Amino acid sequence: MNAQEQKLLEDDLWRSADTLRANSDLKSTEYSTPVLGLIFLKFADNKYRQSEQAIMKQYNKLKDTRREKAISEIAIEKCGFYLPDHARYDYLLNLPEEQDIDQVIKKAMEAIEEYKPELKGILPQDE
């Protein structure tokens, strides 16, 4: 990300925060946890994508051999964590409107914690 892109992102985030403050009956403490959760999931998804090709290459290489490993195990070795499909940012973006996004985000965080227990109780989930 270059300086201009970072400035545009910062401006967009401030505008979004201003919109939330001005057009919502919610206090900032009520929307900060879900927003932080989404930011974390986007960051995690970007990091996972950087390793995804190497993860799949290793998985396919070991598949159907005595050394076969689960994708989650390879992902943790290559990337530091595993993101199941339902914890991916694109999955969340494509949810139907009627879906309870709070519960889906919570389940995504729980799934990440399942494969990376060190994060248990640290990830933003619900308040």
Q: Which has more confidence, 12 or 44?
A: 44
Six-digit token pair at 11?
A: 């401006």
Q: Is residue 5 part of a domain?
A: no
Q: Is residue 106 part of a domain?
A: yes
- Distance between CA atoms of residues 87 and 65, nearest Å: 28
Residue 65 lies in domain: 33-119
Q: Is residue 12 part of a domain?
A: no
Say how many domains are in the chain. Answer: 1
Q: Could you give the percent of the chain with pLDDT greater than 70?
A: 98
pLDDT at position 73 is 96
Q: Is residue 57 part of a domain?
A: yes
pLDDT at position 50 is 96
- Distance between CA atoms of residues 76 and 79, nearest Å: 5
Quick one: which of 94, 98, 120, 101 has its CA closest to 38? 101
Give residue 80's identity as a one-letter amino acid code.
G
- Write out pLDDT tens, residues 67-110: 999 999 999 999 999 999 999 999 988 999 888 888 888 899 99
Q: Is residue 20 part of a domain?
A: no
- Write out pLDDT tens, residues 16-47: 777 877 777 777 777 777 778 888 899 999 99
Q: Is residue 48 part of a domain?
A: yes
- Cα maximum dimension of the chain: 59
The pTM (predicted TM-score) of the whole model is: 0.75
Residue 127 has pLDDT above 80, yes or no: no
